[in-house]
């Protein structure tokens, strides 16, 4: 874990965020987990897949 993250966590322990900010953080984390679970269960929709036009060379 980078030192910068540890310093940020220490700052959060000393000065905790407001309840409104904590709700926002938890809502964002929950939304990310929900989207990840939906994508894992049903896969990526075909309508959102980008199709190649064939103009650019394929990098491998």
Sorted by sequence, the CB contacts under 8 Å of residue 25 that are 6+ apart come out as 17
Task: Look at residue 58 in the predicted model and tell me its pLDDT.
Answer: 65
Q: How far apart are the two ends of the chain, measured CA to CA in Å?
A: 32
Secondary structure, 3-state, the chain: CCHHHHHHHHHHHHCCCCHHHHHHHHHHHHHHHHHHHHHHHHCCCHHHCCCCCCCCCCCC
Task: Tell me the per-residue pLDDT of 4-48, one tens digit each, with 9 for 90 and over.
Answer: 999 999 999 999 999 999 999 999 999 999 999 998 998 887 887
pTM above 0.85, yes or no: no
């Amino acid at each position: 874990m980078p030192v910068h993250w540890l310093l940020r966590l220490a700052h959060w322990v000393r000065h905790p965020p407001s309840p409104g900010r904590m709700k926002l953080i938890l809502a964002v984390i929950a939304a990310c987990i929900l989207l990840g679970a939906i994508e894992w269960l049903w896969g990526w929709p075909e309508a959102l897949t980008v199709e190649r036009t064939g103009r650019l060379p394929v990098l491998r």
